[in-house]
A and B are shown apart, each in its own frame.
Chain A
Amino acid sequence: MSETRALTLADVCRSFGPVQVLHDISLTLRPGEVHALIGENGAGKSTAMKIMSGYLEPTKGQVKLDDAPVRFASSQQAEAQGVVLIHQEFNLADQLSVEQNIFLGHEKRRGLFLDKGWMQAETRRLLDRLNCKVSPTARVRDISNADKQMVEIAKALSRRAQVLIMDEPTAVLTEREAEVLFEQVERLKAEGVAILFTSHKLDEVKRISDRITVLRDGHVVAQGMTTEFNEDQMAQAMVGRDVSSLYPVRTAAVSDEPALEVTGLNVPGYARDISFTLRKGEILGISGLIGSGRTEAMEGLTGLRSAQGDVRINGKPVTLRSPQQAQAAGLCYLTEDRKGRGLLLQKGMRENLTLQALPEFTNWLIDHKAEDAALTRAIADFDIRCPTREVLVGNLSGGNQQKLLIAKIMLTEPDIVIIDEPTRGIDIGTKQQIYEFIHALSAAGKSIIVVSSEMQEVIGLADRVLVMRLGTIAGEVSGDDMTEDKIVRLAMGLGATRQEAI
């Protein structure tokens, strides 16, 4: 590649409605340099990357290309200028060949027809440059994840990318596959491409980046050459803040009696050898990075996925092969995906509220009066704010949907509730309400598991926290040990105790 370019964000702010997610971000991607952008989930990394690559516009501040301010009206415009974002989820058409994917939307024509020979040769050349052996005619669905990542990069190169932005490129790769990727990143760097990537794996960041920017709550909290940081310092910069007064004071007493005992739970492909005990009235947090198998383990436990293991409820062994069996045993799982798995968006609140507990409302026929009464109670108990009772659930705000979902689960009167991501995508006021609901449930004697990617949330809510990593329980923290620092270290596979700063 003959020309090189530098991309700069200068004092960039971005708001979504009243919520400001980026505050005066400044950073520069230099040719021939690998820049790592790190931060917790929700720190603003994705928004920053989207602004760099033309998917979003900054509310304030400027994007500069080689010191000249630019405005990308779309990602296509950014691509035309050599700035390409590779998404975390592959953006490839599975049924098409490698070559077809690389030239999708930019096909080379000769007269009326496609110039297949040229495109295949060009694909071969691009892949060779990446030292990737996959055949241009192979179907994308048949190739490995690492090769897919290479095809994405080749696609970016075919668009003459001089600035390459990669959102967690190694999240889906095995260690060896990641190794191959890093070699190619080194090559691209040597050719003068400016590269930015995000990762939760701090050892990777340390190894391949030249410069680091740490984001926290939309602010740049640390920036500098990678050599100036060790992994502990990175983790500390990412999380360092106090738990605010968002969380209610824990007053309920936890009994010593076990409500749920899980021994050696295996969820093939996602989690293995999960063992823990949940006591009556306890709030147990489960933390870990996205992809650590938290959700899958809980789905396996509640019969939503096939799993093996020994489960006891109130000391009695139970078999939970389906959600119906789990519900009958008094165990309910509240999904993290409220739009896709939690609620029927095109139905009203009443149908949604009673769907899971419908037998309770049915005596040959459904008792509409009882349903209406239940809805009235749910609206009052969980403070659901709706324009009318007949509103389609898809038109409720995220917070109100979540409250309705909690009301729906509680209608089945479970003894044990697993709440996955209780407050994802919800404003702070509603978060606080939901935390109070969770405390109230525990005070009412329910045993609760809270699964969350927000470390503050599990620390603020739970009596004890299990940390998952790569499908296993990496450790448990409780009491004064429940700090973000300890949890992050466990989640990222560092030792439980801090090494002395170098």
Chain B
Amino acid sequence: MTATETQPSRATRGVNLKVLGPILALVVLVIVGAALNGNFLSAANITNVLSRSAFIGIIAVGMTFVITAGGLDLSVGSMAAFIAGLMILVMNAMLPVMGPGWPLVFVGMLTAMVAGTLAGFVNGFLITTMRIEAFIVTLGTMGIYRSLVTWLADGGTLSLDFGMRSVIRPIYFDGILGISWPIIVFALVAISGELVMRRAAFGRHAAAVGSNDQVARYSSVNVNRVRMLTYVFLGILVGVATIMYVPRLGSASPSTGVLWELEAIAAVIIGGTMLKGGFGRVWGTVIGVLILSLIDNILNLTDGVSPYLNGAIQGVIIILAVILQRDKKAES
């Protein structure tokens, strides 16, 4: 670095607050939680909170890239429900042929990954090649997947065969060294996401596309390819999240994954990623996910405030996060 005088400008301080804001909020929540309930910091509770955060968390990491590149995906919740239903149907159908066991679990996993990739591709294709607004496309596919899963379940519940349930349960409930698989997978996804965002050309390109797609195009960046890939990655991650989710209940219904898309988007925004694109922070998203699930957890553990107010408190946090993010603009 060249010798540059340190100017305590407003911008520098503002950025610091923007970096520290989500972390401070998380710390405050942990202190409040510990003060209100002795069980809050118990291993069981922490494992519970983290495992439940993993579904939204894995999806939110993918959402961070989509939003950073100037897009949006409202379909992820419905997509997760649809993929869960499909995974269960495929495994049930193959059960007589393959019998209960890990090969069948892998078939289920493969189904989820392929379906997620395809669903992401469809969103990306309609948005990039067909040039339709991301909001409209994913609003449409959101309705389509939700309706499809309802139709597949005939309005009820799609249940995994009981024999298979015991085989697949460990994916959610077991782990290594007492850390459950969903937490491990979430951590891996988050770490690789952070690495890609910060250090890989793809992350840089996604931010460039979201910041000004014309500049990206004139700089020889393949804008459509970058946009497309953000949706495909998100689709794959929805598939991964579904693989973690199905073993938990062994069923999928029309109410599976409802509002996940909003929770994922909220986590991304709380984490400091700009909704209009151009700047993304994966570690921030992870903190955002943790903040949202801690609020839920604390309200459930304490008697003072009704858990029904969960949504209100989350709403206030989202709005506060956006207020804190303002003014990060170059004067030109």
CB distance from B329 to the nearest CB of A (A): 6
CB distance from B207 to the nearest CB of A (A): 7
Pairwise interchain contact A324-B222, C-beta atoms closer than 8 A: yes
Residues 321-345 of A at the B interface (beta carbon under 8 Å): 322-324, 326-327, 333, 335, 339-345
Which residues of the other chain, B, contact A359 by a CB distance below 8 angstroms? Answer: 201
Q: Let me know if B306 is at the binding interface, CB within 8 A.
A: no
- Contact digits for B1-25, partner A, Cβ 8 Å, 1 yes 0 no: 1101001000100000000000000
How many A residues have CB within 8 A of the partner chain? 39
A322-B208 contact in complex given A341-B214, A346-B329, C-beta closer than 8 Å: no
Q: Let me know if A392 is at the binding interface, CB within 8 A.
A: yes
A341-B4 contact in complex given A358-B205, A395-B330, A395-B331, C-beta closer than 8 Å: no
Residues 91-141 of B at the A interface (beta carbon under 8 Å): none
Which residues of the other chain, B, contact A344 by a CB distance below 8 angstroms? Answer: 208, 211-212, 215, 278
C-alpha spacing A356/B205, complex, angstroms: 10
Pairwise interchain contact A387-B218, C-beta atoms closer than 8 A: no
- Contact digits for B192-225, partner A, Cβ 8 Å, 1 yes 0 no: 0001000111001101100110111111111000
C-alpha spacing A311/B214, complex, angstroms: 25
Residue of B nearest to A326 (CB): B220
Q: Let me know if A366 is at the binding interface, CB within 8 A.
A: yes
Which residues of the other chain, B, contact A395 by a CB distance below 8 angstroms? Answer: 330-332
Q: Let me know if A362 is at the binding interface, CB within 8 A.
A: yes
Which residues of the other chain, B, contact A368 by a CB distance below 8 angstroms? Answer: 199
Pairwise interchain contact A346-B4, C-beta atoms closer than 8 A: no
Q: Let me know if A351 is at the binding interface, CB within 8 A.
A: yes
Q: Let me know if A388 is at the binding interface, CB within 8 A.
A: yes
Dominant secondary structure of chain B at its interface with chain A:
loop
C-alpha spacing A339/B278, complex, angstroms: 15
C-alpha spacing A313/B218, complex, angstroms: 20
Which residues of the other chain, A, contact B217 by a CB distance below 8 angstroms? Answer: 304, 323, 341
Pairwise interchain contact B330-A392, C-beta atoms closer than 8 A: yes
Among A333, A365, A395, max chain B CB count under 10 A is at A365
Pairwise interchain contact A355-B4, C-beta atoms closer than 8 A: no
Among A346, A359, A365, max chain B CB count under 10 A is at A346
C-alpha spacing A366/B195, complex, angstroms: 10
CB distance from A391 to the nearest CB of B (A): 9
Pairwise interchain contact B201-A346, C-beta atoms closer than 8 A: no
Which residues of the other chain, A, contact B221 by a CB distance below 8 angstroms? Answer: 355-356
Residue of B nearest to A355 (CB): B219
A345-B330 contact in complex given A351-B208, A366-B199, C-beta closer than 8 Å: yes
Which one of B204, B220, B329, B330 contacts A366 once the chains associate, using CB atoms below 8 Å? B204
In the assembled complex, 18 residue pairs joining A and B whose CB atoms fall closer than 8 Å, in A order, are A322-B220, A322-B222, A324-B222, A340-B215, A341-B212, A341-B217, A344-B208, A344-B212, A345-B332, A351-B207, A358-B205, A362-B201, A366-B199, A366-B201, A368-B199, A388-B7, A395-B332, A412-B220
